[in-house]
Structure 1
Amino acid sequence: MRKLAVYRLKPGMKIARPIYNANQQMLLASGTVLTATFIKKLEKLNIPAVYIDDDLLPGVEINDVVSDNTRYRAINYTKKIFHDFHYTRSLSGLDGMERVVNNILDDLLDNPTIMVNLVDIRSTDEYTFGHSVNTCILALITGLKMGYNESALKQLAMGAIMHDLGKTLVPVKILNKPGKLTAEEFDIIKKHSEYGYSVLKKARHFNAISALVALQHHERYNGSGYPHGLSGRQIHDFAAIVGLVDMYDALTADRVYRRAYPCHEAFEMLSAFGDYMFDYNIVKSFLHHVAAYPISSVVKLSTGEIGVVMENRPGFSLCPVVNIMFTAENEKLKYPVKLDLSTTPNVTIVSVIDDDEFNKLMDNKTGRQLFY
């Protein structure tokens, strides 16, 4: 099972995880064999990538940190709240949103060894709703690692899932502009944090600290953020957490103006931001549960050997368990060799084999003998 961009799909490939449309209706079930018609439909719907089953990792599942049912119910409800507010300027149904975040928290509490291995795939047209839910999930994972109690976690979650409400007041043509924003357009987009706060702070039954998340999630530890240029401890921890995971989710998602960054590149960027863009302890807590090299990543080791990531564990984000499949001379091994990088500090991952390199590997004689 591995993630593959839609433009690289070929008829005959098999879907590994169900694909949903913007209304969270299932388009293709797991196990569906792709046809040219199906692939064209995915392209038309602006779905950037899918997970496929192939012989690289037969029988290996990449599990989400929450159930599909929890995730898609949350996306649907978030979409309803945002749409209703956009058209009526009335914010209702927040009690239902509390139930949504409770379900997310329950799923996470049932998963004591959380590792973010799966990138949430969403239509570029429906980015905001999936992003809001994933930001909530990632913020809760960070809050759990930081030891927050249940009350604090729920305040954090509500702030996270509603953090971009203000974008409903930004013109869509600017929000979804595929090219570079002008200075004036960027100034308009930056207003979304104040717009959201002004609405949420007046909402019945919405916690004042949760509302502060909407206002401060673009503030940065070094004072370079907006809207008020706050720094250090002036920024509430909840807003700092949401700002960090908001950035990670944005980096690893396909956007109208660029393709997603690979997880290891996003991980490296955020690692460098400790006590610069974000508080170091928050960065450390978040990355504790994020796989730099998600399961099914094809990686090259410092020994020159090539293998596939099979397992990730909390606290060892850069040191997965790898099945070595090729020697340094690109010769296939008759049987894969399991290597736990957390116990072999002299061996590290030096690069990730991208789709182009992987296809070349598959096309040569040894690759075909190994994988098929």
Structure 2
Amino acid sequence: MRLISTKSLKPGMVIGRTIWNDSGRPLLQDGVQITDRIIGRLVQLNIHYVYIEDTISKDIDVQETVPLQVRHKAIQQIQDSFNSIKRATREKNITYCLDENSKQFVSIINDLMDYIFESKEIVTVLSDAFIYDEYIYQHSLQVTIYSISIARELGYNAEEIRQIGIGAMLHDVGKMLIPFEILNKPGRLTSEEFDTMKLHARYGFDLLRNLHTISLLSAHCAFQHHERLDGSGYPRGLVDFEIHPYAKIIAVADVFDAVTSNRVYRNKMLPSQGMEIIKEGMGTLYDERVVRAFEKVIAIYTNGSVVLLSDGRRGIVYKQNHAQPNKPGLRIFEEDNQLLKATYEYQLEDDVEIVKVELDYVLSE
């Protein structure tokens, strides 16, 4: 199957991967032939990319690190827990509620650790596979998956990774205390609204720090995930040595997921673009060791992506490369702007690089 931008879909193309709603029901089943009506519905749902089946992508498999069913269950648990926390805030019994929900969070983290530790593939998260009305729940899960993967690459032990995972899952819990109209504002926040939004880091720490069931280190993840090495972050403007190593991990995972996910105020970037944003801030905003570890564990070029090479050839990613994730295995299907009669497999070499991801590519046959 092949990843293609929604704007490039044509009637007659065939859906290659099912898209689900937040209730776990299929919105669009794989194998369905695309019509103008379906294209219109996808645009309405703000879905930017879908997988299709075609000749150049035959037999290319796309697997998420965490199975879709497990991911959906986890997001539902996060949503239920966060909503109960929001209700408890109004009812003034939030400490009891958080203690009760912490057992659920630990269970989710343990399940995610099992899948990530057992996986032989680098991390792939397909954020368009499920359609959620509220960004925060999906974001919390994806940041957790990225953070656990980074921590594992950095050599943390299981208990440390568990603390990092809980900190990642709850890093935005303070947003439950931010007014809804600010949290979900479709346009740019005013300076006053942004000052209010920034309070979520301190709110999260205050909610978590006195709990017996959650480590104080996990609470500091909520407190410090917007701090930056050069002191430009918030809420306290900490610098490199003042920021806890756990928070440095979550900072990278948080920003990467934020820029590669659909938001109410802007469209998502591709993973390769998101990684470039992170690398531009390496050493000034983000810890270099964390960024280097993230590069090793994340699928920058997702299976099924069409790419243009520096020598003019076009190929489609068919497998990941553990040793060098920026050099995936390719199936070359075009040379000199001419479709080949037979495709061939190619492993990127040092003198050839990917210059562009072309998800708007339309096969002319």
Same-fold call, TM > 0.5?
Answer: yes
Residue of structure 2 in register with 1:350 after alignment? 355
Q: Contact 2:221 / 2:247 at 8 angstroms: preserved in 1?
A: yes
CA drift at 1:236:
0.9
Residue of structure 2 in register with 1:102 after alignment? 110
Rounded Cα–Cα distance in structure 2 between residues aligned with 1:51 and 1:326? 20
Summarize the Cα distance change of 1:23–1:127 in structure 2 as closer, same or farther, 3 Å threshold. same
Question: TM-score, normalization: structure 1?
Answer: 0.89
Residue of structure 2 in register with 1:200 after alignment? 208
Deviates more, 1:258-267 or 1:290-299: 290-299
Rounded Cα–Cα distance in structure 1 between residues aligned with 2:129 and 2:262? 8
Rounded Cα–Cα distance in structure 2 between residues aligned with 1:286 and 1:42? 31
Residue of structure 2 in register with 1:331 after alignment? 338
Gaps (5+ residues) in structure 1?
Answer: none
Deviates more, 1:197-206 or 1:132-141: 197-206
CA drift at 1:86:
1.1
Tell me the amino acid that sits aligned with residue 65 of structure 1: T
Residue of structure 1 in register with 2:65 after alignment? 65
Rounded Cα–Cα distance in structure 1 between residues aligned with 2:128 and 2:289? 25
CA drift at 1:118:
3.9
Deviates more, 1:50-59 or 1:239-248: 50-59
Summarize the Cα distance change of 1:274–1:244 in structure 2 as closer, same or farther, 3 Å threshold. same
Moved over 6 A (4+): none
Rounded Cα–Cα distance in structure 2 between residues aligned with 1:119 and 1:314? 22
Rounded Cα–Cα distance in structure 2 between residues aligned with 1:261 and 1:175? 21
CA drift at 1:124:
5.9
Residue of structure 1 in register with 2:149 after alignment? 141
Residue of structure 1 in register with 2:294 after alignment? 286
Q: Deviations over 1:324-358 (max 9, x none)?
A: 2211x2122221232211xx211112222241xx1
Residue of structure 1 in register with 2:81 after alignment? 81
Q: Contact 2:124 / 2:299 at 8 angstroms: preserved in 1?
A: yes
Q: 2:267 aligns with which of 259, 263, 266?
A: 259
Q: Contact 1:64 / 1:116 at 8 angstroms: preserved in 2?
A: yes
Tell me the amino acid that sits aligned with residue 280 of structure 1: E
Q: Contact 1:274 / 1:283 at 8 angstroms: preserved in 2?
A: yes
Rounded Cα–Cα distance in structure 1 between residues aligned with 2:149 and 2:260? 17
Residue of structure 1 in register with 2:195 after alignment? 187
Q: Contact 1:48 / 1:124 at 8 angstroms: preserved in 2?
A: no
Summarize the Cα distance change of 1:339–1:3 in structure 2 as closer, same or farther, 3 Å threshold. closer
Residue of structure 1 in register with 2:246 after alignment? 238
CA drift at 1:296:
1.8
Deviates more, 1:82-91 or 1:142-151: 82-91
Tell me the amino acid that sits aligned with residue 336 of structure 1: T
Tell me the amino acid that sits aligned with residue 51 of structure 2: Y
Q: Is the aligned partner of 1:125 residue 2:130?
A: no
Summarize the Cα distance change of 1:354–1:64 in structure 2 as closer, same or farther, 3 Å threshold. closer
Rounded Cα–Cα distance in structure 1 between residues aligned with 2:221 and 2:330? 39
Q: Deviations over 1:194-245 (max 9, x none)?
A: 1111111123301111111000000011111000011112111111111101
Question: TM-score, normalization: structure 2?
Answer: 0.91
Tell me the amino acid that sits aligned with residue 270 of structure 1: I
Q: Contact 2:227 / 2:237 at 8 angstroms: preserved in 1?
A: yes
SS of 2:57's partner is coil
Rounded Cα–Cα distance in structure 2 between residues aligned with 1:21 and 1:28? 9
Tell me the amino acid that sits aligned with residue 84 of structure 2: D
Q: Contact 2:305 / 2:357 at 8 angstroms: preserved in 1?
A: yes
Rounded Cα–Cα distance in structure 2 between residues aligned with 1:173 and 1:123? 21
Deviates more, 1:286-295 or 1:160-169: 286-295
Rounded Cα–Cα distance in structure 1 between residues aligned with 2:319 and 2:84? 42
CA drift at 1:23:
2.8
Gaps (5+ residues) in structure 2?
Answer: none
Count of aligned pairs: 357
CA drift at 1:190:
0.5
Rounded Cα–Cα distance in structure 2 between residues aligned with 1:312 and 1:117? 13
Residue of structure 2 in register with 1:3 after alignment? 3
Q: 2:277 aligns with which of 269, 284, 288?
A: 269
Rounded Cα–Cα distance in structure 1 between residues aligned with 2:125 and 2:262? 17
SS of 1:154's partner is helix
